[in-house]
Each structure stands twice: as structure tokens, then as C-alpha cells.
Structure 1
Amino acid sequence: MSRFSNTLIGFLNLLTLLVSIPIIGGGLWMARSTTTCESFLQRPLMVLGFVILLISLAGFIGACFHVVWALWVYLAVMLFLITTLLAVTVFGFVVAGPGGGVEVPGRNYKEYHLQSYSPWLRKRIENPDYWMTIRSCILGSKTCSKIVMWTPVDYLTRDMSPIQSGCCKPLTSCNYEAPMMTQDPDCYKWSNDPSVLCYECDSCKAGVLEDVRRDWHKLSILNIVMVMLLIGIYCIGCCAFQNAKRDDSYPSNRMYKVRPKWNFYSGGR
């Protein structure tokens, strides 16, 4: 039974070690994404991925080589990891839950409004220094150059990404023949200059947050699966730890029982 438990926990830790790779890859994908240009949600994900990788390696070694103290450390860190991963997942759902676009009549794309998103996300994205970094990223990604040659028919029939909708064009409601005081403030910020466009618009910031929201929801599914898997592995690991403790104490118990017989026969001689 002990050998089976240790073999099972070793195999499962090998599995979580392999599963941690997509988590790290997901964080790297968010960091390198040419459309998201965000970093404040994928960093915790990457840290957790690397922690899972290291603790799974430690659990695998401890189970295969029957190292009791290594299994104890493994279980303690695993409990902390499960709690942290669960907290990060819940936090992600809370801060990335509000949002979504508004349908534009006669168009296939949606438009996005900053006030639709959580205060925590808005506070981060409205920081001038932080926004300059994201703005430079969007410019470097050439996201808007992909729709620069669109015709009026394209704008009526084709879809756009949230960033393209928010950053690359003025709001559909803008009417530049009407008095500007009656327009949305973003209409004042729009310019035909390719280096300006609507990069200072609230709609552009909202488009970035919508990309973050969509990416985080996809990765949260992986987080939930990982939490369930880690809980199952933790329960099995507790059994393996108890078995390893019994195996570690068994030789000393056996010597304690044998020694009196050895002394008895020696005394008879």
C-alpha cells in the first residue's frame, strides 16, 4: 500500500509538473500578446505556474525516494499554493467580471465604455505612466494599421477586436457636423494622425480592459481545473506521507522486538 501511494503521488506530481507548463505559457502569452499589451494580471499567474513547477518536482522526488521531511514540506507548501491559487482565481473573477461591449446598430463590432469595468482595473489603466507604456505597446503592435485601408462597407460588415474598436476609430455616435459640446468627450480626442487616433480616448482604455477581461476568463478555467487537481493530489499526498512515516519507523520497531530474543539466547549460553 505504501509503495502504491508513493508511486501514485509521484505520478500525479509529474502530471502537475506538466500541467504547470501551460499555466506559465498562458502568462507568457498574455505578456507577449500584441493585442492585450497588459501585464498586471498575468504576473501572478506566471509566479503561481513556476511555484507549481518547483513544488511538483520536489513532491515527485520526495515520493520516489521516500524522503519524509521532503513530503512534509511539500504538503505544507501545497496547502498554501491551493489557497493562493483559489484566492487569485476568485480575485480575477471579481475584478474582471464587469465589462463587455455595447452593440452598435447596423454594425458587427461593439464599442466599450470605461465605466463598465471594475474600479480596480480602471484605477490601474488610468494611471498616466502606466497608460503610456500600454499606448506604446499598442502603437508597436500596428493593430490599427490592419484596418486603415477599410472601406465604408468594411466598417458596416466586418468585426473588430476591442482594441481596434476603441483605439483606431472615433465613436460611431460622434457627429462632427453637430456642436462639439453635445458630443462624447472622446470625440474631442480623436485625430486622423496615425500616431494619435483615439489612443487617449477612454474607449481605447476600455478596449484594452476588455481584452484583459476575455483573456483572464479563459485562463481562469484552467486555474479552476488546476485547483481541483491539486486538492485531489493533496489528499493522496497526506496518505503517502503517513505511509512514509510508518515505513521510516518500521526498522527501529523491528529491532526493538528482536533484541530481547537475542539477549535471552546469549544469556543461556
Structure 2
Amino acid sequence: MAMYRCSNMVIGYLNLLSLLASIPIIGGGLWLARSSKTCESLLQKPLLVLGFVVLLVSLAGFVGACFNVAWALWLYLLVMLLLIAALLGLTVFGFAVTGRGGGVQVPGRVYREYHLEDYSRWLRRRITEGRYWQAARACVVGSKACANIVLWTPLDYLQKDLTPIQSGCCKPPTSCTYSAGAAVAAQDADCYRWNNAASVLCYECDSCKAGVLEQVRRDWHKLSVLNVVVLVFLLVVYFTGCCALRNARRAEYGYPYGENHMSKMRPRWDYYWGRWWRDRRDQLY
């Protein structure tokens, strides 16, 4: 009986753990929705959806394993299989779109600069769409990232590091040359988009869009690595759930563990003939 309940107890504890773990996942998604660090919604919605799905799936698995509810375990295993497939696809897609980028080290400086063409086509197409970029730009402006470096001296730019958003949105490219406040000669297009006004700066520069993508790339890459760990955990839970489903079906039909439920074989013809002959013999003698 202890072996009979082993997988049920394991799946119950694992789902209780994942049930509790879904709370910080949902909290993290809500925090990202209000945070000004990422300034893009690519991570917020998948994290929220993942948290709520894990919550519901873990609840179904916990109830099914603890109370031997076979239909709940069937539903749990089906949704778990879909969740594993979706998470696997999201992880592969995440690694594919975040494989490029990373910026270019500026000679003599600590910080890096970022170029839009260095990122995947899917990310570039998304960030350059008007409705997405307007929301991201408003987030960058509201984050006050540029206000943190407004009092920096030229020496600070030589010795201190910049975040991707600060590097791309708060200053012109380092290669730009200005005379009397205007860009001279043929230079990067962002050199002409730069304006010293606090409400303009380089918010419309391609380098600013690249800085936002770099922040998204870093966060999404971390999430993809975490997804690999979650996938391994879900696979362990899924196979344990298969054992729990088998036990639940045994309990539902009243089968004791270890009992052989093979249907009785139909006796051969000579069984009935031998029995008839013995009965006749007993009557005669």
C-alpha cells in the first residue's frame, strides 16, 4: 500500500510546490507590467500567462493526486503536455531571436553602443512599428534614465558604464562630431536626430530603439535559461503524474494494488467433457 500511494504523494507535493511557485511568477509579471526597466511588453504577457496556467494546472494535479480523481488527472496531464510543448516552443523561439545583439565596445570607454541592424529581423520589425515604439518611448521618458546622467562630466563618460537605454537614448553616438551645436559632414543619421532638449535627446534615434531591444534581449535570454530548468521540472512532474493517474484508476475501480485483473480464460472443451463423464460415473457407482 505504501508503494501504491508513493507516486500520488510525490505528485501531490510537487504540485503543491509549483502551486506556491506560481504566485511569485504572477507577481513578477505584474511587477514587470509596472516596472520601467524593460520598457517593452514582450516579457510581461508571457510571464503572466505562464503563471496563471501553472496555477490552474498545479491545482488540478494536486486535487487529482490527493483525492484519486481520475478525470482531474486526465485534464491535468493533457494541459501539462500542452504546457510543455508551448514552453519548449517559446524557449527555442527565445533563444533564436535573442542570439544576436550585445552591442559594440566603444574604444576608450566602459560602455557599449547598440545598432538596430545587429538584432533579429523579428525584433526589429516589432520595435519599429508605431504603436509599439510609442509605448516603449513613453516608458523610456518616464523612467528618468537620462536624468540620472544629466550632470555627468566628460570624465564620467570615460570612467562610468551606461545601461543600454542610457547609451542609446540619452546621448548621441560617440562617433558624432558637432560644430556650433550642429552635426557636420556625413555622419550617422542618429547624429542629426539628436537634440539637447530634455524632451527630445535621442529618443527618436535608431540607437534608442536598439538600446530598448538590448534590454529586452538580456531579460528574455535570462527567461529562456529559466525555461529550460522549468521544462526539466515539468517533465519530471508529468511522468510522475502518469503513475498517479494509474493509481487513481485502480482506486476508482476498487482494484487492490498488485492484484492480477486478467480475465479468466474460457475453459477448453475437454474440461466440460471430463466433468460430464465424472458426474455420470458417480451416478452409476
How far residue 30 of structure 1 moved from its aligned partner, in angstroms, is 3.1
Q: Residue 222 of structure 1: which of 198, 222, 226 is its match? A: 226
**Aligned match of 2:27:** 25
CA–CA separation in structure 1 for the residues paired with 2:90 and 2:177: 43
**Aligned match of 1:233:** 237
Q: Residue 107 of structure 2: which of 105, 108, 113 is its match? A: 105
CA–CA separation in structure 1 for the residues paired with 2:43 and 2:66: 35
How far residue 152 of structure 1 moved from its aligned partner, in angstroms, is 0.8
CA–CA separation in structure 2 for the residues paired with 1:221 and 1:249: 43
Residue 85 in 1 paired to residue 94 in 2? Answer: no
Deviating 4+ runs (over 3 angstroms):
177-181
**Aligned match of 1:262:** none
Amino acid at match of 1:68: A
| Structure (1 or 2) with the larger CA radius of gyration | 2
Q: Residue 141 of structure 2: which of 100, 122, 139 is its match? A: 139
Amino acid at match of 2:194: W
Residue 190 in 1 paired to residue 202 in 2? Answer: no
Tell me the SS of whatever aligns to 1:182: coil
Give me the TM-score of the superposition, normalised by structure 1.
Answer: 0.90
Question: Where is the helix percentage greater, Structure 1 or Structure 2?
Answer: 1
CA–CA separation in structure 1 for the residues paired with 2:135 and 2:103: 24
Residue 51 in 1 paired to residue 31 in 2? Answer: no
* Within-5 A mapping of 1:116-131: 116-131=118-133
**Aligned match of 1:243:** 247
CA–CA separation in structure 2 for the residues paired with 1:128 and 1:207: 17
**Aligned match of 1:256:** none
Q: How many residues are paired up?
A: 255
Q: Say whether the 8 Å CA contact 1:26–1:219 is kept in structure 2.
A: no
How far residue 251 of structure 1 moved from its aligned partner, in angstroms, is 6.1
How far residue 31 of structure 1 moved from its aligned partner, in angstroms, is 2.5
Q: Residue 206 of structure 1: which of 202, 207, 210 is its match? A: 210
11-20 or 77-86, larger mean C-alpha shift: 11-20
CA–CA separation in structure 2 for the residues paired with 1:156 and 1:251: 76
How far residue 50 of structure 1 moved from its aligned partner, in angstroms, is 0.9
How far residue 65 of structure 1 moved from its aligned partner, in angstroms, is 0.9
- Sort the Cα spacing of 1:2 and 1:221 in 2 relative to 1 into closer, same or farther, 3 A: same
How far residue 93 of structure 1 moved from its aligned partner, in angstroms, is 1.0
Q: Say whether the 8 Å CA contact 1:165–1:207 is kept in structure 2.
A: yes
Q: Percent identity?
A: 65
CA–CA separation in structure 1 for the residues paired with 2:223 and 2:34: 15
Deviation string for 1:178-232 (max 9, x for gaps)? 9744100000000000000000000000000000011111122221111100000
How far residue 18 of structure 1 moved from its aligned partner, in angstroms, is 2.3
Deviation string for 1:152-180 (max 9, x for gaps)? 11011000000000000000000124974
CA–CA separation in structure 2 for the residues paired with 1:97 and 1:155: 28
Q: Residue 13 of structure 1: which of 12, 15, 20 is its match? A: 15
CA–CA separation in structure 1 for the residues paired with 2:132 and 2:177: 31
Q: Which runs of 5 or more structure 2 residues have no equivalent in the other structure? A: 260-285
CA–CA separation in structure 2 for the residues paired with 1:135 and 1:4: 54
**Aligned match of 2:75:** 73
Amino acid at match of 1:225: V
